Structure 1
Amino acid sequence: MDALTATLALLRLEGMGPGRYWQLIEHFGSPLRALQSLPDTLLIKLPERAQSQWRDFARRGEQSELAAWAQAEQQHCKDAGIRLLAYGEDEYPRLLAEISRPPPVLYIRGAVEALHLPQIAVVGARRASAGGLDNAHAFAAELAGAGFAITSGLALGVDAAAHRGALKSGGITLAVLGTGVDRLYPRRNAALAEEIVASGGAVIGELPLGSAPEAANFPRRNRIISGLSMGVLLVEAALRSGSLITARQALEQNREVFAIPGSIHSPLARGCHRMIRDGAALVETSTDIVQQLGGLLAEPKTALSEPAPQLEPRQRRLVEALGGDPRSMEQLARDTGESVGELMAMLLQLELAGYVEQLPGGYQLTPRGAAQLQFAE
């Protein structure tokens, strides 16, 4: 039995996981010796099904159900065009190999060479604001234009916006899944995953084919996102969120962490502010990230930004009144001297132009609208 088959068989045992796997490798030196010599002290900690599977392997070896599954998994991957990449192989990503207890095996659909590009992870809230989605798209597009591959988790919200931003700029993006790579989640982003692969990127995971989107899988997914990357950009995050976990894991992995600040009134800004207090770099432009990484690559391209149309004087006063924080209709009426009816008409125009977004109880500027403030200074 070769090392890859032994590794897959070990990981097939319910309750094994990367932690116990690496403890065995440290003790026995190879996956095959670990599989053949599973100690009773570990065996009794595994579920009954895993104990039964291992005893069957101990009796029948390569004729066992466990060995047959590992061989079939490799054949299924081959038939589906999925590459299995084991830790220790030359093509295994160097940065990922450096983290504590890295994935023993990666399932890769797409370009394996994309894993070796310098990567920036862009992560954030699934239910992001319009401004957060704009930031994720714009930062990813500019960083991809500077030569970075954009890594994220294919989730709704910030993840999807980051992937699309990279694709729009003609860049490479990688999607790391908390499911089997043949079971895309969420299904709404299946077409996006196909576009990622077709554009020279890859869809990556460490779970067997057919694995469902269980909650316990996503912290494991997040450590791969940060582990592959030189740095992690946190766009929007609540204080209790998977994105914040990814950023904390990045700090533990000695990666650079960047965060975009937001309004003190926004719950989705609190995770970013917490990370800034904990040592993340506050960033306002993608150039901040490139410079912090030592000018490794070219300066971000800015040609993607469309020239902003000129605002009428009354619209400009309204933009200035909105400022940096959410404002209620009453506050805007007081600060601009406009009637509520006139304000509603102007806000609708600005919202359609992408300058303003409506929140519960008020309005705030989008990044596109905030950019207009500099022309008023």
Structure 2
Amino acid sequence: MRVAGSARRNGIALTDRQRLAWLRIIRSDNIGPATFRELINHFGSADAALEALPDLSRRGGAARTLKIASIAEAEREIEYAHKFGARFVGIGEPDYPPALRQIDAAPPLIAVKGDLSVASLPAVGVVGARNASISGTKFAAMIARDVGRAGYGIVSGLARGIDTAAHRASLETGTIAALAGGLDQPYPPENLGLLDEMTSGRGLAISEMPFGWEPRARDFPRRNRLIAGMALGVVVIEAAARSGSLITARLAGEFGRLVFAVPGSPLDPRCEGTNRLLKEGATVTTGPQDVLEALAPISQLDLFSSPDVEEPHSDGRAMAPPPSDDDRSRIVEALGPTPVEVDDVIRHTGLSPSAVYLVLLELDIAGRLERHPGGFVSLTSFN
């Protein structure tokens, strides 16, 4: 069974000015993917959003001056990326991984290095234990090799054990390494040679973190999110009860992707997590054919619908004026530490959606709002 080759690419390329502005926004304080999307959708362009940031932060009640990445800082990072052999790709551009752009709060800008054609392949994630057994690494290699030969890209996290086996087995067919730190800060160091093999051949490295960023423990769930987002399905091989691979599996399920688990001995603690996934409904996987047959109905789905973050060619700023202080107070009073749906805030206050979304954006930029999966929001604990 073989899927079609690289899928068609479409999208709109950013201008150099837009790319610089996008990078400035995403590198500024209190701005993540969801906030970035709200800014572009509300103001129409990154340039207009940058101009509005100080006022948004002030109206949101920020305790300190918002740190906005400067033009010089963004230019230095773009120049460094170029010298490193990498570049930045925006969510609406043709080279952005198509499945990743469909997830909630996808990274608006990613740094990539290597063969960009691999990003357009339908992908399968292969993850598991760092201290994998010999049989586990052999099985991971078999899955990656055979699924890769069927036309899928193999996505993993460059970790020891299962990840390493999956990347090596798919070097010729197409493999993607999602990194927790900057592209120039791969982890673990012993896999630097493997990463070089990937990026100089049929492989790709991807990160949403700044160049020079050394990965910390809190960054690996973001790496796992990239893996789950790029893949149509994730195969988990030897995952302990508290394995990071289970985070990848959970995220894949939240994104509507398939989760495959390889059964293991109940006496092996490395298999406790995978066996639990099977109890929870993951697809039993004893060979590559299990993966290929399950993915066949969805591998041809159109993943290239237009993203919801896209700049128009002109910078139109026709928009309603900011809400009054009274309206702003009503919205803040409707919020609390418990996450609520934005639609509930709109119904509760009786204000227009545009007014509510703008005040939420102000609070977000000021560092007073937390965004949760599914469109829920809450006030931060220090409000």
Listed one character per residue, the Cα deviations across residues 213-249 of structure 1 (whole Å, up to 9, x for unaligned) are: 1122111111111111111000111121211000110
Query: Does residue 1:40 correspond to 2:57, yes or no?
Result: yes
User: The residue matched to 1:254 in structure 2 has which SS?
Assistant: coil
Range with bigger deviation, 273-282 or 249-258: 273-282
Which stretches of structure 1, 4 residues or longer, exceed 4 Å deviation after superposition?
41-46
Listed one character per residue, the Cα deviations across residues 143-190 of structure 1 (whole Å, up to 9, x for unaligned) are: 1222221110001111011111223xx321111101111122111000
Q: Is the 8 A contact 2:29 2:67 kept in 1?
A: no
Aligned length: 282
Structure scoring higher RCO (CA < 8 A, sep ≥ 6) equals 2
Query: Does residue 1:147 correspond to 2:168, yes or no?
Result: no
Q: Is the 8 A contact 2:24 2:70 kept in 1?
A: yes
Q: Quote the Cα distance in structure 1 between the aligned partners of 2:21 and 2:94.
A: 19
Q: Which stretches in structure 2 are left out of the alignment for 5+ residues?
A: 1-15, 300-383
Q: Is the 8 A contact 2:182 2:211 kept in 1?
A: yes
Instruction: Check 1:41–1:215 CA distance in 2 against 1; reply closer, same or farther (3 A cut).
Output: farther
User: The residue matched to 2:112 in structure 1 has which SS?
Assistant: strand
Q: Quote the Cα distance in structure 1 between the aligned partners of 2:173 and 2:94.
A: 25
Shift of 1:22: 2.9
- What amino acid does structure 1 have at the position aligned with 2:225? R
Aligned with 2:167 (options 163, 180, 187): 163
Aligned to 1:239: 241
Q: Quote the Cα distance in structure 2 between the aligned partners of 1:41 and 1:20.
A: 16
Q: Which stretches in structure 1 are left out of the alignment for 5+ residues?
A: 55-64, 298-377
Alignment of 1:56-71 (within 5 A): 66-71=70-75
Listed one character per residue, the Cα deviations across residues 56-92 of structure 1 (whole Å, up to 9, x for unaligned) are: xxxxxxxxx6111111211222222212101111222
Shift of 1:292: 1.0
Shift of 1:18: 2.2
Q: Is the 8 A contact 2:57 2:66 kept in 1?
A: no
The root-mean-square deviation of aligned C-alpha atoms, in Å, is: 2.0
Query: Does residue 1:93 correspond to 2:61, yes or no?
Result: no
User: The residue matched to 1:237 in structure 2 has which SS?
Assistant: coil
Please state which structure has a larger fraction of its residues in helix: 1
Shift of 1:136: 1.1
Instruction: Check 1:11–1:43 CA distance in 2 against 1; reply closer, same or farther (3 A cut).
Output: farther
Shift of 1:257: 1.0
Instruction: Check 1:25–1:240 CA distance in 2 against 1; reply closer, same or farther (3 A cut).
Output: farther
Q: Quote the Cα distance in structure 2 between the aligned partners of 1:42 and 1:219.
A: 32
Range with bigger deviation, 152-161 or 268-277: 268-277
Q: Quote the Cα distance in structure 2 between the aligned partners of 1:263 and 1:183.
A: 36
Instruction: Check 1:254–1:3 CA distance in 2 against 1; reply closer, same or farther (3 A cut).
Output: same
Q: Is the 8 A contact 2:91 2:109 kept in 1?
A: yes
Q: Quote the Cα distance in structure 2 between the aligned partners of 1:146 and 1:129.
A: 26
Instruction: Check 1:11–1:262 CA distance in 2 against 1; reply closer, same or farther (3 A cut).
Output: same
TM-score by length of 2: 0.69
Q: Is the 8 A contact 2:88 2:111 kept in 1?
A: yes
Instruction: Check 1:11–1:296 CA distance in 2 against 1; reply closer, same or farther (3 A cut).
Output: closer
